[in-house]
């Protein structure tokens, strides 16, 4: 695993050296040798924060050092660490430290407590099935949010109110990460059904089509991040496979709205392969 962790360290070192500059998706792909979607998720599940959050943290922490140890004005510091203006700097600084840059200068308090970022790997190695799936037409509604947010639950509640045939309807979630470096992994999430709604005409599109690594998650959706951690901080390093840029798909093979039956849920996580 040491060779694979070297990939993450390369990304960490590059961001540390260029935290005050815009970092493009292509630069991260070239350094890591993974697609933006995969390096985002590998970084998040190996390091505990997103690439965007890490870069933002480096900006405000380096700004704080300047506030403590130099007499530079706050506007100059904001520009030096990569913020476009004092307003965006002040907002990010207060969000991170809980006080304004001006208050930090006046109080001279030491709030820097985060240790160096050290990536980890999962102790569990999952073994997926490699499957070929035909294209499938689905009917869907969408939201844009960060993954594992309550907005996805709200979308499903709204989606299921459309009512679908009891027999023969399959349910999928399509997770299309945005190609942007943000503090959260933003995505467009589609709630999908294989049959048209009974009381409303929903838009249609095709999903799937091609080879996928299919992982199995059992139990509540609240713990699905644990399965993603095992995928992106262990399995992906050893797979020897090439990954497609098409979205990750979740297939809700067995689901339940009753709280007493959440442990019986079965979800397939489908990672697209070339």
pLDDT single digits (tens) 150-167: 899 999 999 999 999 999
Tally of helices (H runs) and strands (E runs) in the chain: 10, 8
Write out the E strands in the chain.
129-133, 136-146, 171-177, 186-193, 204-207, 210-218, 248-254, 266-272
Binned at pLDDT 50, 70 and 90, residue 1 comes out as low
pLDDT single digits (tens) 80-93: 999 999 999 999 99
Average pLDDT over all residues of the chain: 90
Mean pLDDT confidence for 62-83? 92
Q: How far is CA 193 from the centre of its chain?
A: 24
Task: Outline which parts of the chain fall under CATH 3.20.80.10.
Answer: 129-272
State residue 7's pLDDT score: 87
> Hey, CA dihedral for 186, 191, 194, 197, is it positive or negative?
negative
Of 167, 232, 164, which Cα lies nearest the Cα of 202? Answer: 164
pLDDT single digits (tens) 171-227: 999 998 877 777 888 889 999 999 999 988 999 999 999 999 999 999 988 899 999
Place of tokens 């959440």: 262
Cα 107 to Cα 40, 68, 153, distances in angstroms: 37, 9, 43
**Composition of the chain by helix, strand, coil, percent to 5:** 45, 20, 35
Query: Model pTM?
Result: 0.85
State residue 112's pLDDT score: 63
Does pLDDT of 69 surpass 70?
Answer: yes
Q: What is the CATH number of domain 2-107?
A: 1.10.10.60
At 56, list the tokens: 């933002």
pLDDT single digits (tens) 101-122: 999 888 876 666 566 788 888 8
Within 8 A by CB and 6+ apart from 169, the residues are 193, 194, 195
Query: What is the fold, at CATH topology level, of the domain defined by 129-272?
Result: Multidrug-efflux Transporter 1 Regulator Bmrr; Chain A (3.20.80)
Of 221, 233, 37, which Cα lies nearest the Cα of 126? Answer: 233
Three-class DSSP category at 192: strand
Three-class DSSP category at 108: coil
Task: Outline which parts of the chain fall under CATH 1.10.10.60.
Answer: 2-107
State residue 146's pLDDT score: 85
């Amino acid at each position: 695993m040491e060779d694979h962790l070297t990939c993450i360290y390369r990304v960490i070192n590059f961001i540390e050296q260029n935290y005050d500059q815009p970092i493009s998706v292509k630069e991260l792909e070239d350094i890591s040798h993974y697609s933006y979607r995969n390096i985002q998720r590998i970084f998040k599940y190996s390091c505990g924060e997103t690439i965007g959050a890490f870069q933002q943290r480096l900006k405000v922490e380096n700004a704080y050092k300047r506030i403590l140890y130099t007499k530079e004005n706050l506007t100059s510091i904001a520009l030096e660490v990569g913020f476009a203006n004092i307003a965006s700097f002040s907002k990010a600084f207060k969000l991170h430290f809980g006080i304004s840059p001006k208050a930090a200068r006046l109080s001279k308090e030491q709030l820097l407590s985060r240790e160096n970022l050290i990536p980890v790997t999962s102790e569990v190695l999952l073994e997926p099935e490699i499957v070929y799936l035909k294209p499938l037409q689905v009917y869907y509604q969408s939201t844009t949010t960060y993954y594992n947010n309550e907005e996805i639950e709200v979308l499903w509640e709204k989606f299921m109110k459309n009512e679908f045939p009891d027999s023969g309807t399959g349910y999928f979630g399509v997770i299309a990460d945005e190609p942007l470096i943000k503090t959260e992994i933003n995505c467009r999430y589609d709630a999908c059904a294989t049959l048209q709604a009974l009381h409303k005409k929903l838009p249609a599109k095709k999903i799937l089509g091609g080879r996928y690594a299919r992982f199995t998650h059992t139990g509540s959706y609240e713990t699905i991040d644990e399965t993603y951690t095992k995928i992106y901080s262990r399995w992906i390093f050893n797979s020897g496979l090439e990954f497609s840029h098409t979205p990750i798909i979740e297939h809700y093979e067995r689901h339940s709205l009753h709280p007493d039956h959440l442990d019986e849920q079965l979800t397939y996580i489908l990672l697209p392969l070339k």
